[in-house]
Structure 1
Amino acid sequence: MREEFPFLADATQGYALGEVWGREVLDDRTRQLITVGVFAALGQPAYMKIHAGYALNAGVSEAELKEVIYLTTVHAGFPPAIAASVALSELFEERRQLVEAGP
């Protein structure tokens, strides 16, 4: 993105990743849980999957991520939740395979 859309890259880095993500009101764990829920509700499973990985790295459990997806059905409906569940299952499997493969 930086090469083709430098303004967009700068804006993303400065505002989204800088001003918003840099705030100290929420910890990283909470911020990632919220972000997973938002992307799931918006029907953006690819972005949701990326942030679910960050959430796992921040100490969120698989069970907690599943609860976020279950909650998505109430506010966004079943299609976005199902799409998110597929992406989340892929992420869980990819991470299990990495653990099994070892260093």
Structure 2
Amino acid sequence: MSIRRVMPDIRSEAMEESRDFFGLLRFEEVMNHGWVMTLASPSTPTAQVTFMSHDKTAPVVPDMSVEVDDVDAAYAVMRESGAEIVHPLQDEKWGVRRFFVRDPNGRVVNVLSHR
């Protein structure tokens, strides 16, 4: 299993203001579903930050996202370790397969792969 990218997820009720603010640093909007928006660096597209008002199918907004090449393998490793699964592995309508797990600091990590 390899890591493709890691990004912070920020709970926000100020999506447009966040886009405008980070736009000053030259981030560009690359995804926006209304409740979740991702901004990326045009020169380094994997340098990203995501803003969420809520999560469409999960009980909490994650603190960070980690994209891996094999989410099923990551899920198996986390379950075998006894880590707390906050949101079960599932396919989402917007094209990702993901699960949430709580890290030792209490932070919720969204682990995903694009389908």
Q: Which has the higher strand share?
A: 2
Instruction: Give the shorter-chain TM-score range.
Output: under 0.3
TM-score, structure 2 as length reference: 0.26
- Highest Rg: 1 or 2? 1
Q: Which has the higher helix share?
A: 1
TM-score, structure 1 as length reference: 0.28
